[in-house]
């Protein structure tokens, strides 16, 4: 059994997890399989050989930022105390009044990057509102994790064209383009983003049949470069076992499986 690092997870406090997963399902018009709590996510680890996680949450307004980041930092500590090789990324909102102070505080409590969900936050990734944040992240060599893509015309905040604008303006910014570079627009994203330096990807919310066949997934992974790709479940959207089964059905080589499931995340995030 391969060693697994889940590079894309969302969890919520027990008190709001049920409501949060329902709202997420409504937003994307699907059913969330997981319960949405860290305890439920971790309960799946042993049988699937999951040994580490990337944990993050989305700030839906500027007032949530510090609370979200404190919560993720506490979960990282809990996860590590249970023996997992876990890291956490800070949430940030485009109207937060002082990016630098909060990024430095997030680093002081153990966080190691920033996650933005442009669709939920309703902000273009190449918006000037986010550029001061990108400048800070580039100078700190901190990775920016972006939800990418959406086929719905009203949610075009994170198109590959807009990511190209960001990469042009911040050539040393480390970016993780989630969902194989573009949820629901995979072929277009792979065509535009293939070969771009400093860009990595995850497999989360991208392996569903019939929209993504194993053959199509393999083609996109090879186009983007398997060494740039990490496994992710997008929990609570799906549970670990089923997503691993979908990943293994792609039929990659042992080397490719080992790297995508574990090694790439260790290198990309410099996890010791």
Q: pLDDT tens for residues 97-132?
A: 999 999 999 999 999 999 999 999 999 999 999 999
Q: Considering the entire predicted model, what is its pTM?
A: 0.96
On the question of pLDDT at 25 being above 90, the answer is no
Q: Where are the alpha helices (DSSP H) in the chain?
A: 17-28, 38-43, 45-48, 65-81, 99-108, 118-121, 131-140, 160-169, 186-193, 214-224, 240-248, 254-258, 264-268
Is the Cα torsion angle 56, 60, 65, 71 positive or negative in sign?
negative
- At residue 69 the predicted structure's pLDDT band, cuts being 50, 70 and 90, is very high
Residues 6+ apart with CB under 8 A from 267: none
| Domains of the chain by start residue, with CATH | 4-263 (3.20.20.140)
Token pair for residue 69?
A: 């980041």
- Mean local confidence (pLDDT), 27-39: 92
Cα separation of 113 and 175, whole Å? 10
Rounded percentage of the chain residues whose pLDDT exceeds 70: 100
Quote the pLDDT of residue 96.
Answer: 97
On the question of pLDDT at 30 being above 90, the answer is no
- Mean local confidence (pLDDT), 179-204: 96
Whether the CB-CB separation of 163 and 134 falls below 8 Å is answered with no
Cα separation of 53 and 35, whole Å? 17
On the question of pLDDT at 252 being above 90, the answer is yes
Phi-psi region of 55 (alpha: psi -120 to 50; beta: other; left: phi over 0): beta
Whether the CB-CB separation of 185 and 195 falls below 8 Å is answered with no
Whether the CB-CB separation of 233 and 8 falls below 8 Å is answered with yes
Quote the pLDDT of residue 142.
Answer: 98
Q: pLDDT tens for residues 125-164?
A: 999 999 999 999 999 999 999 999 999 999 999 999 999 9
């Amino acid at each position: 059994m391969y060693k697994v690092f889940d590079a894309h997870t969302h969890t919520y406090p027990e008190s709001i997890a049920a409501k949060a997963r329902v709202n997420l399902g409504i937003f994307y018009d699907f059913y969330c399989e997981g319960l949405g709590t860290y305890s439920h996510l971790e309960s799946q680890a042993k049988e699937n050989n999951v040994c580490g996680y990337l944990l993050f949450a989305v700030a839906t307004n500027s007032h949530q930022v510090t609370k979200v980041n404190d919560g993720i930092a506490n979960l990282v500590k809990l996860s590590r105390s249970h023996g997992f090789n876990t890291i956490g990324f800070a949430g940030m909102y485009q109207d937060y009044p002082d990016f630098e102070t909060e990024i430095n505080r997030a680093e002081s409590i153990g966080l190691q990057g920033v996650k933005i969900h442009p669709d939920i936050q309703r902000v273009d990734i190449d918006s000037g509102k986010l550029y001061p944040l990108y400048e800070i992240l580039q100078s700190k060599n901190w990775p920016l994790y972006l939800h990418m893509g959406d086929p719905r015309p009203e949610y075009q905040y994170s198109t590959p064209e807009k990511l190209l604008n960001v990469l042009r303006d911040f050539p040393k910014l480390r970016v993780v383009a989630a969902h194989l570079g573009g949820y629901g627009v995979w072929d277009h994203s792979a065509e535009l983003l293939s070969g771009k330096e400093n860009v990595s990807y995850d497999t989360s919310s991208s392996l569903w049949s019939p929209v993504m066949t194993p053959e199509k997934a393999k083609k996109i992974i090879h186009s983007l470069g398997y060494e740039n790709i990490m496994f992710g479940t997008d929990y609570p959207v799906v549970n670990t076992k089923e997503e691993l089964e979908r990943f293994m059905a792609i039929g990659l080589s042992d080397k490719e499986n080992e790297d995508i499931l574990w090694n790439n995340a260790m290198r990309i995030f410099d996890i010791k």
